[in-house]
Amino acid sequence: MNVRSSGTQPVRIEQDVVLARQSARKLAQECGMRLIDLTKLVTAVSELARNTVVYGGGGDMDWQILEDGPRVGLRLTFRDEGPGIPDLKLALTDGWTSGGGLGLGLTGARRLVEEFELDTAPGKGTRVTIARWT
């Protein structure tokens, strides 16, 4: 697997959620991703970026365009140094929220992508990595 290009952008305030969506859209287009897949990925980005701002106290989005043989993929990592998630199983349950949301962000995002990895611990922040491939 080869990294074609990579970068990082801040996800600190609500406006950064919009910018993260825009970047993800542009990068997915660069990958030649089908519109349906691009739309799924951008929706997941929205949810994860919003969680980074709302619960993580802000963080960053790392992106990589990957090549694996004929396939091209976009991998995105949302990381923050916020409080972390004490009960991951609960957080990945449909409808569970600690903050008066719908509790569908993480589970929804997980269903919309091909790779989903969540690393978190209380006091250690949260890191969510997602990817979709052509």
Binding positions for Mg ion, rule: CB under 5 A: 51, 105
Query: Could you tell me if 60 and 34 are in contact, meaning their C-beta atoms sit under 8 angstroms apart?
Result: no
Give the shortest CB-54-to-Mg ion separation in angstroms: 7
Q: How far is CA 50 from CA 13, 66, 100, in A?
A: 9, 25, 14
Q: Exposed (0-12), middle (13-18) or buried (19+): which is 40, by Cβ within 10 Å? A: buried
Please report whether residue 51 would count as binding ligand ATP according to CB under 6 A: yes
Q: Which residue among 62, 101, 110, 134 contacts ligand ATP (CB under 6 A)?
A: 101
Nearest-angstrom CA–CA distance, 12 and 91 = 22
# of chain residues touching ligand ATP (CB under 6 A): 23
Residue 51 vs 77, nearer CB to ligand ATP: 51
- CA dist 105 and 81 (Å) reads 19
Selected binder of ligand ATP within 105, 113, 129, 130 (CB under 6 A): 105
Among 5-13, 37-45, 66-74, 82-90, which window interacts with ligand ATP (CB under 6 A)?
Answer: 82-90
Question: 11, 16, 23, 56: which one contacts ligand ATP (CB under 6 A)?
Answer: 56
Q: Which residues of this protein are in contact with ligand ATP, per CB under 6 A?
A: 47, 51-52, 55-56, 80, 82-85, 91, 96-99, 101-107, 126
